[in-house]
Amino acid sequence: MRWRRGGISSNVEDRRSRPSARRAGPGLRLPLPAGGRGRLGLGGVALVLLILWLGGGDLGSLLEVPGIPGDAELGLPGGAGEVGAQGGLRSTPEEEELAEFVSFVLDDLQATWARAEPGYRDAVLVLFRDAVESACGLGQAAMGPFYCPLDQRVYVDLGFYSDLRRRFGAPGDFAQAYVLAHEIGHHLQNLRGDAERVRRAQASRPERANELSVRMELQADCLAGVWAHSTGRRGLLEPGDIEEGLAAAAAVGDDRIQETSGGGVHPESFTHGTSAQRRSWFERGVEAGDAGACDTFEGA
């Protein structure tokens, strides 16, 4: 992707230098990929976030990730930083370049949606390490990037991008851009009232909660594709960028994540959609370049 280094966006809240928030005590345990350590990726804790969103609870009281005994043993996420001589965390030049890249993408995303959507209000991107407090409760790097509708912030541990490349097999800067575009898609859903309508439908029809969650996630994928289409019109795409985005969308499908976790594939538990679905809806957004093409709820 063609981009320019320009420092950190005014819509970025950098909490990487803060001490990691502590986990709350024992609660819901979520399976990690085989081997017991690492991150769950984009879809790994969707059910927990759904419970939190519907019930207004504290994420910290719901989540305890097995295989990660405590903050002191978490280490640095994905090699995002280094330990200084005095034992503190310091950023690497590579991490600072990545921070500037996501800042560029964030500003471009929000300028794009501000032109297309009357009344659009900017979200804030929070960069953190290991764990972070949000209005939705305690979030952890193991969750992957997430959007909190209660404070209209996207939370990203930059170390996730190393996992995206190494564990999920989705390298490239446009794969990284897709992740942020997907989360800003959730912000747009929140502003437009789509998220609230889905929340009410899930509360009244709990047996459809997972299905409606999948539709929400696929719509966010499509909205990410709409933005990707606009980058092509504005000359920001480089050869292979769209393929990187498609690979990233497929890499975080529920079936792919469950298969690599070693626990088998269980379609009834899907909350984000299959790899084929996620790739297809991202591609639809790219081809259409119009949010009107992203009605994943048609016939629902």
Helices (H) and strands (E) in the chain, counts: 10, 10
241 pLDDT band (50/70/90 cuts)? very high
pLDDT in tens, 95-139: 999 999 999 999 999 999 999 999 999 999 999 999 999 999 999
Q: How far is CA 63 from the centre of its chain?
A: 17
Query: What average pLDDT score do residues 17-21 get?
Result: 70
**Distance from C-alpha of 127 to C-alpha of 142, rounded to nearest angstrom:** 14
Check pLDDT > 90 for residue 190. Answer: yes
CB under 8 Å to 139, separation ≥6 — which residues? Answer: 59, 128, 131, 132, 133, 146, 148, 155
Percent of the chain at pLDDT exceeding 70 = 75
- Give the residue from 112, 123, 238 showing the smallest Cα distance to 174: 238
- The alpha-helical segments, DSSP class H, found in the chain are 46-55, 59-62, 93-116, 160-166, 173-192, 194-204, 209-233, 241-251, 254-261, 275-288
Q: Sign of the C-alpha dihedral, residues 46, 50, 51, 57?
A: positive
What one-letter code names the amino acid at 236? L
**Confidence class for position 76, pLDDT limits 50, 70, 90:** very low
Q: What is the model's pLDDT at position 232?
A: 96
What does the mean pLDDT of the chain come to?
Answer: 81
Higher pLDDT, 164 or 115: 115
- pLDDT the model gives residue 21: 55
Of all helices (H) and strands (E), which one includes residue 87? none
pLDDT above 80 for 48: no
Tokens 């047996």 sit on residue = 207
Q: Are 189 and 170 in contact (CB under 8 A)?
A: no
Work out the angle at residue 294's Cα, subtended by the Cα atoms of residues 231 and 53, and round it to the nearest 5 degrees.
Answer: 105
- Report the C-alpha gap between 238 and 220 in whole angstroms: 23
Q: Point out the least confidently predicted range of 7-21, 106-120, 222-236.
A: 7-21
Length, in residues, of the chain = 300
Give the CB-side neighbour count of residue 22, counting CA atoms within 13 A.
Answer: 3
Q: Are β-strands 153-156 and 124-127 bridged in parallel, bridged antiparallel, or unpaired?
A: parallel
Query: Which residues, other chains included, contact 204 with Cβ-Cβ below 8 Å and sequence gap of 6+?
Result: none
Say whether pLDDT at 88 is over 50: no
pTM higher than 0.85: no
Q: How confident is the model at residue 287 (pLDDT cuts 50, 70, 90)?
A: very high
